Structure 1
Amino acid sequence: MILVWAMLLDAALGEPRWLWDRLPHPAVLMGRAVGWCDRVLNRGVARRARGIAAMTGIGVLALGLGWALAQLGPVVEVIVAAILLAQRSLVDHVAAVARGLRISLGDGRHAVAQIVGRDTAAMQPSDVARGAIESAAENLSDGVIAPAFWFLIGGLPGLMLYKITNTADSMIGYRTPRHEAFGWAAARFDDLLNLAPARLTAALILATHGLWWQWDQVAREARQHRSPNAGWPEAAMARALGVALSGPRSYHGTRQEFPYVNATGQRDIGAAEIEAACGALWRAWGAALALVAVSTLLI
């Protein structure tokens, strides 16, 4: 029942600022480790091989640290797992965009800039809402369902391995001149580890909205997404809320013409739809909690 208690603790407390203002968050420490590898190893020739070596090294360290922490007992396991889950903080960040948008467009843009990587300066209200909802769907998979899934599979070592991989992908897993070769291993391994959780997340969203019959449409749209995994929760969330997601956006001043997901859904959206997405996050979390509890009892 360790994961059940960890999920409940995360949902209740989230990320207390009084604690993380005084201590570095484990995710920050993971980021520093990845950053060190990037600075020291991402140079010269054979950068893909260097990236593979870097991921192997930090992956082994994450597994070892997870194993060592697990030896300290179930209380430590619950606390560490709760820290590495992100349900409450995800909902808080997404809800902040809705609150900001209700105040002004500028406040909405500022809030959504905290959770998306696209350009926000010229966003209209619908763009802000789409960004927040897409982030909610993708991070439900990356920050909640996938960590829980890998804890069930491999305990605390499995969770630690997933988190360091996901952190590495978010930092170096890009097709840029600097990182296309060095970050290849991080990106591919992250794709592999998210393969099952992304589809499970989509299933949870559809199931908790009574939309199982739309699985085929979600699968079709997910396969057209630029990411092999992110499209699944995004397409499911779009249909759960009846909105169109993805679509055009700008990165670093360059407009990208991505196709819409659930293109016939509502496009004129705002704070109300963001708040509905927060409700969908809690529904999916509740279903995941029930699955974890049942799985734990059966195991």
Structure 2
Amino acid sequence: MSAAILSAALVLDAALGEPNWLWSRLTHPAVLMGRAVSWCDTRFNQGTDKRKGGITTVALLLAGAIVLGLVLSLFGPLVEMIVAAILLAQRSLVQHVQAVADALRLSVADGRMMVARIVSRDTAQMDQGDISRAAIESAAENLSDGVIAPAFWFLIAGLPGILAYKAVNTADSMIGYRTEKYEEFGWAAARLDDVMNWIPARLTALLIALSSRLLSGWGAIRDDAGLHRSPNAGWPEAAMARVLDVALSGPRIYDGERHNLPFVHEDGAHDIGPESIDAATRTLWRAWGLMLALCVVIAIF
């Protein structure tokens, strides 16, 4: 039953995305989760044992998400399908990434403005290649975090599973930083997010490779993933880099400080532009289509 519901949710999300008419009137669940994390940050990120406060935060978020999921599940498959679709992000991901390509065709300045909406790094000094790489990296990483991982956890544990994943992922995005404020407090959120994304990240890379007929390059994808600073994000990024034959990751600037990170697939093209972003969005849809097909097969058999 979960696979059938997820199949419908994937299609609904792809068709409607994030309709403004709805979320201009209602508060999106992601916003509510963010408020819960902020409340916990204010309440528990203090004292000498901040790690304990972070563990308490994650425990509360998980408990709330699981209970809410169990309650919503009582209302039947239609409600489960709608909630799951809301928590998936395929169409909105494609729209945000494609917007960078469209803006970059107008000017580098427009491209910088649009890519700043989807990445946290400094964009003021980015050239066309930097903008394109950032957009493609965001596409690959968010395919895993925003589509495949939520879908995976729905298949494993229904609404409690997908809500628990989204709660942890939201917490990691807000407090899972190695800064003085969050080094200890965000430890639990960051580590649990790594655990919950371990399988989905590799599944995403596999879907990208399979849907683009590049499974023969799996060994190279695995090696490239090991170059990435993240134990999980490197997998979809490495697969996308090989499919498009472009170099991703590499040096970037955060808060005015340059970080000389290694390239993923360094031998790929460096001088890239909006056409490469277009190719990335097509890859997103192919991987999504393969995920949908797998869900349908599971639902049938």
Shorter-chain TM-score category?
Answer: over 0.9
State the identity %.
61
Partner of 2:75: 72
Please report the TM-score for the alignment, with normalisation by the length of structure 2.
0.98
Partner of 2:172: 169
Amino acid at match of 1:123: M
Partner of 1:31: 34
1:62 to 60, 65, 68: 65
**Would you say 1:110 and 2:109 are equivalent positions?**
no
Amino acid at match of 1:162: Y
2:148 to 126, 145, 167: 145
2:24 to 14, 21, 26: 21
Q: Which stretches in structure 1 are left out of the alignment for 5+ residues?
A: none
Q: How does 1:88-99 map to 2 (within 5 A)?
A: 88-99=91-102
**Would you say 1:125 and 2:123 are equivalent positions?**
no
Partner of 1:227: 230
**Would you say 1:186 and 2:189 are equivalent positions?**
yes
**Would you say 1:216 and 2:243 are equivalent positions?**
no
Please give the per-residue CA displacement for 1:204-248, whole angstroms capped at 9, x wherever unaligned: 111111111111111112122110000000000000001000011
How many residue pairs end up in the alignment?
Answer: 298
2:227 touches 2:263 (CA, 8 Å); kept in 1?
no
Separation in 2 of the partners of 1:293 and 1:92?
A: 25
Q: How does 1:240-251 map to 2 (within 5 A)?
A: 240-251=243-254
1:205 to 199, 203, 208: 208
Amino acid at match of 1:46: D
Please give the per-residue CA displacement for 1:159-182, whole angstroms capped at 9, x wherever unaligned: 000000000000000100000100
Separation in 1 of the partners of 2:176 and 2:233?
A: 14
- Alignment partner of 2:181: what SS? coil
Please report the TM-score for the alignment, with normalisation by the length of structure 1.
0.99
Separation in 1 of the partners of 2:138 and 2:42?
A: 28
Moved over 2 A (4+): none
Partner of 1:284: 287
- Alignment partner of 2:253: what SS? strand
Task: Please provide the CA RMSD for this pair.
Answer: 0.6
- Alignment partner of 1:250: what SS? strand
Question: Could you tell me how far 1:36 is from its partner in structure 2?
Answer: 0.5
Amino acid at match of 2:268: G
Partner of 1:4: 7
Q: Which stretches in structure 2 are left out of the alignment for 5+ residues?
A: none
Separation in 1 of the partners of 2:161 and 2:81?
A: 14
- Alignment partner of 2:217: what SS? helix
- Alignment partner of 2:153: what SS? helix
Question: Could you tell me how far 1:49 is from its partner in structure 2?
Answer: 1.0
**Would you say 1:42 and 2:23 are equivalent positions?**
no
Amino acid at match of 2:290: A
1:81 to 79, 84, 87: 84
